[in-house]
Amino acid sequence: MGQVNLLPEIHGERIQQARALFFEQGELPDGLVDPLILRSWERCRQFGLADSGACLDGNAMDRMALKTEQQRNQYLLQQGRPIMEHVFEQIRDSGSMVILADASGLLLETVGDPDFVGRADRVLLSAGASWDEIQRGTNAIGTALAEEHAVAVLGSEHFMRSNGFLTCCASPVFGPDGRLVGVLDISGDYRSFQRHTLGLVRMSSALLEKRLFETVHARDILVCFHSRPDFLGSPNEGLAAVSPDGQVLAMSRLGTQLLGIRQVDAVRRDFSMVFESNLATLIDRLRLNPQGHLALNVNGKPIYVSLRGHLPPPAISSRIYDEEPVTRVVRKPEAAAQPNPALTLDTLNTGDARLQLAIDRARRMLGRDIPILIQGESGAGKEMFAKAFHNSGPRSAMPFVALNCASIPETLIESELFGYQGGAFTGARKEGAPGKIQQAHGGTLFLDEIGDMPLNLQARLLRVLQERCVTPLGSTRAIQVDISLVCATHRKLREEVARGTFREDLYYRLNGMSVTLPALRERTDIRTMVHKLAAAESATRELKVRFSEAALSAIESYAWPGNIRQMFNVIRVAIALLDDHETLITESHLPEELFELAPPPPVVAGQGFDKWAAAPLEPANSLDEISRQAALRALEAAGGNISSAARKLGISRNTLYRKLGRM
């Protein structure tokens, strides 16, 4: 939208002029308001709405009716909740909320900052209320549904004046059959609008569409394609579900856009007619290089294709069609032919929605001069993510240099980071030494635990980033440096800025793109991770390592306070305990702590599992109380097993923790 890039004050003045022309004088305010917003205003006037009036339905539906609608949209909610939670982690403490609504505009679920949620409740921006245009006038949710297009509605662009304090960005969500199934929205205070919010909600809705498609067609051959090979694996790739006999069963909305065809023209047709290639040959070629992709020529344009999902065995695939020529295989740097595949963003992706969203956001920064700030708990894989980011970009052949700001004494960190000239201090090398910044020239500098950097060094680092040169200790000569900067921290830097322990100007310099890695206990891909870590650790064994179901359940149920680092050590020890002829890891190979009931991380200080379990089940007077009591009963029925209880309730473990801690 053209008006989004204006400063709020200027934008507000223009919208007030437009409102005066439209509502008071009955004229069209051409040039003052986005055409999409103007179309919505005209629809609302045709509906008989008054800009100063109340909505046609002033009440949200009752709890039982909402529960019925949530069950009706269970498929959408199951895939949407992890994405909502991850998006909220990106905007937490910004006075905002994330909303998932169905195709009619009914708000199914929300998560947000408590202060703003309270304000939103006053205009019924809450679960159970309908926000279609007919009832609420111009708003991001209703207008995105009406236009079937992503939209930002800022302040007074809302048709009703009572909603003028809001700024909302929404993007429609389409199902595997191409039909509209819902809308994802980020709403906040008009004064706190961020330009990147619309892009974030667009990317998140694309990821949700991808998850919906992959879930429905999990047992089919999934053809992933894009006109750019680096977009394969991202939310922006096209998807086609194909049967073993080569019939296209479904194609995603993005897929039809990439190929320039309609859904009806793709479905129920032979793969060869849509992609102008032979499916059997495609499958057989990619079996030789599962990490690669094929370059096809479709309608005279290059389309890059990879395969996932339920592939038929070789004997079946080779009989699907007669042999036809297929364009060459393009091998990725991390292809299986390499003895030690490089860690890349693609190899990090093991199926967790929130991690994939972080990967997709980082992938967009490759080759751009934008600092990356990685946030997450200790052991969550921040350095691994930084290395993968480096290996995936144009600087991969250059150095990756890491420095942990918390592990080096304050007296040494300055010389480690900036280097020194010979004789600069007692004990210094005669010839001097380059610092980490200089060593990273041309490559990537990774500063781990940046929140622990001393204040006096923060000023020097800021100057290096601004001037693109570093002056070693004891020297007066500045050395030009070209680095890609990635930082990581387990601290909340905004809080450190407020406390005065971290420079505000450095924070904004480092926080070009922020990604938050989920804690291991919150991830949905634990089994995949276990098998991947075990395969890497046991690569030199002759016999392949397996896990018993009981061992996997114990690993999945554990809270993992040490995150990936702790899991890796547990798996290493378990494999080391196996005899040479053994292949099965059982509970006996795992540490006892995995079988102890550990309280989940506290949502409210001092409130652990014992307090939850001891709380009596009182008569429920609110939806929160009903939700909490259902969570307690599920937890009791599961014998205290958080993962099992979450599966019974159809929610993530993180959501279950929040429900238990809410009261």
**Is the pLDDT reported for residue 356 higher than 60?**
yes
Residues whose CB is less than 8 angstroms from the CB of residue 278 and which lie 6 or more positions away in sequence, other chains included: 272, 321, 322, 323, 324, 325, 326
* Average pLDDT over every residue of 202-221: 90
User: Using 50, 70 and 90 to split pLDDT, how confident is the model at 653?
Assistant: low
The dihedral over CA atoms of 163, 169, 171, 172, expressed in degrees to the nearest 10, equals -10
**Is the pLDDT reported for residue 181 higher than 90?**
yes
Residue 570: enclosing H or E segment and its boundaries? helix 563-577
Of residues 443 and 600, the one with the higher pLDDT is: 443
**Is the pLDDT reported for residue 6 higher than 70?**
no
237, 230 Cβ separation under 8 angstroms: no
Token pair for 48: 């008989």
Which long-range contacts link 267-276 to residues 24+ away (Cβ below 8 Å)? 270/246, 271/223, 271/240, 271/242, 271/246, 271/247, 272/246, 272/321, 272/324, 274/240, 274/248, 274/298, 275/223, 275/225, 275/240, 275/303, 275/305
pLDDT on residue 614: 39
**Is the pLDDT reported for residue 398 higher than 70?**
yes
Task: State the Cα–Cα distance between residues 162 and 120, nearest whole angstrom.
Answer: 11
User: Using 50, 70 and 90 to split pLDDT, how confident is the model at 648?
Assistant: low
Task: State the Cα–Cα distance between residues 426 and 522, nearest whole angstrom.
Answer: 49
Start-end of H helices in 455-525 = 455-467, 493-499, 504-510
Q: SS in 3 state form for 573-636?
A: HHHHHCCCCCCEECHHHCCHHHHCCCCCCCCCCCCCHHHHHHCCCCCCCCHHHHHHHHHHHHHH
User: Using 50, 70 and 90 to split pLDDT, how confident is the model at 25?
Assistant: confident
pLDDT on residue 603: 38
pLDDT on residue 263: 85
Nearest to 143 by CA among 93, 183, 190, 198: 183
For the entire predicted model, the pTM comes to: 0.53
| pLDDT tens figures, 258-277 | 999 988 888 989 999 999 88
User: Using 50, 70 and 90 to split pLDDT, how confident is the model at 311?
Assistant: confident
Angle value at C-alpha 654, between 652 and 659, nearest 5 degrees: 95
**Is the pLDDT reported for residue 316 higher than 50?**
no
| pLDDT tens figures, 62-119 | 889 999 999 999 989 999 998 998 888 888 888 899 999 999 999 999 999 998 999 9
Task: State the Cα–Cα distance between residues 198 and 614, nearest whole angstrom.
Answer: 44
- In order, the DSSP letters of 374-428 are EE--TTSSHHHHHHHHHHHSTTTTS-EEEEETTTS-HHHHHHHHHEE-TTSSTT-
User: Using 50, 70 and 90 to split pLDDT, how confident is the model at 141?
Assistant: very high
**Is the pLDDT reported for residue 434 higher than 60?**
yes
User: Using 50, 70 and 90 to split pLDDT, how confident is the model at 131?
Assistant: very high
Burial class (CB in 10 A: 0-12, 13-18, 19+), 491: middle
pLDDT on residue 175: 92
* Average pLDDT over every residue of 242-251: 91
User: Using 50, 70 and 90 to split pLDDT, how confident is the model at 576?
Assistant: confident
* Average pLDDT over every residue of 316-327: 40
Task: State the Cα–Cα distance between residues 436 and 414, nearest whole angstrom.
Answer: 10
Q: In the chain, what are the domains?
A: 1-205 (3.30.450.40), 218-309 (3.30.450), 353-423+431-516 (3.40.50.300), 520-595 (1.10.8.60), 623-660 (1.10.10)
* Average pLDDT over every residue of 125-138: 93
Lowest mean pLDDT among 53-57, 132-136, 644-648: 53-57
- Amino acid sitting at position 109: E
